[in-house]
Amino acid sequence: MRIVTRLIAMNRGRQIGRQLREIERSIRALPKRNRARLGTLALREIGHASRSDFPHLYGTPPGERYLPWGQGTDIGFARSRSDNAEVAMRGIALWLAVAYHETKDSPHPNMQPHHRELMRVLRGLKEEHNSDPMQSWMHTPHAAA
C-alpha cells in the first residue's frame, strides 16, 4: 500500500509542479497593478481556506470531500485560463490558496519543493502589493479629505 501511496503522491507532485509553472507564467503576464491586486486576493483566499475545516479541500464541492486531494486547484487552474481578467485573477488566487495548504504540511517529500516555490511566488506578490503607489497614496493624510 505504501508504494501505491507514494506513486499517487509523486503523480500529484508532478501535477502541482506543472500547474505552478503555468500559474507563474500567468502571473508574470499580468500588469504590475493587477499583480499587486492579486497579492491581496491570494492572501484573502488563503485566510478563507485556513478557516475551513479542511483547508486543502477549500473550493471542493461538499459531496466530494473524501478524495485524496480536493478539486480547488483544478477549478482555480481552469479559471486562471479565462479570457476574462477578473475571473483569471480569482482563479489564480484560488489555486495559490489551495496549493499552499495542500503542500504546507504534506508528509510527502516531493511536495516540499513546491511549497517553497509557492512561498517565493507569494512573497513576490506581497512585494508587488507593498510597492504599489496606490497603496501608499491611500495611507496619506490627504486621502481622508
8-state DSSP, 71: S
Q: Is the four-CA dihedral 9, 79, 100, 28 of positive or negative sign?
A: positive
Residue 90 domain boundaries: 19-129
Question: Does residue 4 lie in a domain region?
Answer: no
Averaged pLDDT, groups of 10, the chain, 145 residues long: 84 94 95 90 92 85 75 94 95 96 89 94 88 55 44
Structural domain total, the chain: 1
Question: Does residue 103 lie in a domain region?
Answer: yes
Question: Does residue 12 lie in a domain region?
Answer: no
Looking up cell 511549497 gives 115
Question: Does residue 141 lie in a domain region?
Answer: no
Question: Does residue 38 lie in a domain region?
Answer: yes
Spatial separation of the C-alpha atoms in residues 45 and 39, rounded to whole Å: 10
pTM equals 0.85
Question: Does residue 83 lie in a domain region?
Answer: yes
The number of helices, as runs of H, and strands, as runs of E, in the chain is 6, 0
Question: Does residue 135 lie in a domain region?
Answer: no
Question: Does residue 137 lie in a domain region?
Answer: no
Residue 97: predicted pLDDT: 95
